[in-house]
Structure 1
């Protein structure tokens, strides 16, 4: 199992560096990231107007919230949710419960399609990835399903770390254009974007290590 996990992570790293197809599959992390924002907005009493997914792997969640704490938690949720879910999926696969991984991902896809995603590319991506997902679920053998769960988990794990690294870098070189780190700097007033970017990267490494240490 150790060699198989290492192989899938290497494949995920190589795939995400490829043009077009790499970006297409990397959007799985974008969807999870934006789902984190949406869920926390709802939990804290806010509303989700829409979720947008873009071909360059960027995303945006338009939310409203009543209280300061809701805005703070919603802003912080994206990267943390991706890292936490990657860790959870690694644990489930280690316990040979890949079905739970696939069920959670399918649930997120369906909920996003019905309630949140509205931009044209986002709809195209969710519909095509869900169609492929359902085809494998219906036609695939148990080993094929296990491999798909590990493949998608590896993608999420890799992207949760690399996207956090990118936002940390932006926090240092372009703090006014560092996405969630910039939003948090605006919300907290005294904590700059570079600190939030560093926090996102450190927590991604923490959860990645927790997930991988079961295998290595």
Structure 2
């Protein structure tokens, strides 16, 4: 039986603020995330986290707009598929298609906001809860394994790691979501220019709206860049304060 003292300790640990991270940690974690995004093999491995956020964005908005969610698949080539039923056109479908490419940096922005308040443990536990919620809708073995491994790693860090390791893990992950949301948009347009991905989110949006696919690709890119700047400013707070800049 859990004691009141134990529950209080857990509650304080979950919602309490951790110490400000060293400015050097903020800088180094951002550089590590940038290196992963910019380097071929690390990106190929880590991109699975972007796919999880991408498909999670489709699924969440589908549910919020009244569509019936049939399931989510994650594949070993870092692609994914979210199936929902409802009207094939209309605002709900537009928002569902929009959500995929915008979700990773927007999730990163939410994480940056929590880290700006030093709520590191809370951020990690929210990530675990979201991964568990998404696991319910996974419809293939690789997808389930990906979420279990990812969620297990986050949970282990949140529960067993030192505050310094938690901070490094959280800042790197959030930087990665912010930076990693931009590269898929660039890759999308490159593939489209070569005739690839004819059923991409942008092309599907073009099929149900009067606007061309290139408009939607540009919109993805501009929104993700704006979110990257906003999230970067939140994350860089300790670094800027360390050199005497406040905002």
CA displacement 1:18-61 (0-9 Å, x = unmatched): 53x54333211111111111111111111111111122222111
The answer for unaligned runs of 5 or more in structure 2 is 1-21, 241-247
Q: Whole-Å Cα distance in 1 between the matches of residues 94 and 100 of structure 2?
A: 11
Of 178, 197, 200, the residue aligned with 1:179 is 200
| Residues 175 and 232, structure 2, Cα contact 8 Å, conserved in 1 | no
Of 106, 109, 114, which residue of structure 1 is paired with 2:131?
109
Following superposition, the deviation at residue 81 of structure 1 comes to 2.2
How high is the TM-score relative to the length of structure 1? 0.89
TM-score, scaled to structure 2: 0.78
Across the aligned residues of Structure 1 and Structure 2, the Cα RMSD in angstroms comes to 2.0
Alignment match, 1:63: 84
Q: Closer, same or farther in 2 for the Cα pair 1:76/1:144, shift >3 Å?
A: same
- Give the whole-Å Cα distance in 2 for the aligned partners of 1:136 and 1:178: 38
1:155-214, CA deviations, whole angstroms, 9 ceiling, x for partnerless residues?
2112111112222334444376261111111111x2111111011011100000111124
Q: CA deviation at 1:134?
A: 2.2
Larger relative contact order (CA 8 Å, sep ≥ 6): 2
2:177 maps to 156
Matched, 1:210 2:230: yes
Q: Which has the larger radius of gyration?
A: 2
CA distance in 1 between counterparts of 2:155 and 2:232 reads 28
Residue in structure 2 matching 1:197, options 211, 217, 237: 217
1:13 is the counterpart of 2:8? no
Say whether the 8 Å CA contact 2:121–2:158 is kept in structure 1: no
Q: How many Å apart are 1:94 and its aligned residue?
A: 1.9
